[in-house]
Amino acid sequence: MQSASGRLAGVRVYLGSDHAGFELKATLVAALEKAGHEPVDCGPHAYVADDDYPVYVLRAAQGVIDEPGSLGIVIGGSGNGEQIAANKVPGIRAALAWTTETAALARQHNDANVLSLGARQYPIDDAVGFALTFVATPFSAEPRHARRLAMVDEYEKTRALPPLP
């Protein structure tokens, strides 16, 4: 849902992590609630040192697909495996952020619907800022960005490469 300012408000956000992202996920759930969003914790619900991120990340990504208009955040040590796993769910556009700008651009230019964060890569306050920026930033819908996303969507459906210019 967009507010009068064009920013997103009251968004349902599906979160999934592994052991490395467990603490950051709990912090993000609280920060999202405080910002007026509706976090859905897809797990893990207890710290397990050797858990497997696909169990939780794929559930978060599927939640985003099952509920149009929602977003997702997946968290691991680096965020790389979580991003890869989330992007295996058809229709997911998961982006890895390392600055507030990359979090905003993921939404503005790429209409990313899942943010991947590396809990061991930056301070917790930075990660919270990236997440809140991601959730609050709408897709710009500029024609050049929409055109590019349509090419990616078409490839995902047909596996036919876009024509060369």
Q: Which residues belong to the active site? A: 82, 109
Classify each residue of 67-91 as buried b or exposed e, where b means 16 or more C-beta atoms within 10 Å of its C-beta. Answer: eeebbbbbbbbbbebbbebbeebee
- Distance between CA 123 and CA 111 in Å, rounded? 25
Count Cβ atoms within 10 A of the Cβ of residue 49 and give its class: 0-12 exposed, 13-18 middle, 19 or more buried.
exposed
Which helix (H) or strand (E) segment holds residue 151: the answer is helix 143-158
Per-residue DSSP letter, 3: -
- Give the bridge partners for 123, in sequence order: none
CB 93 within 8 A of CB 115: no
CA dihedral sign of residues 72, 94, 130, 20: positive
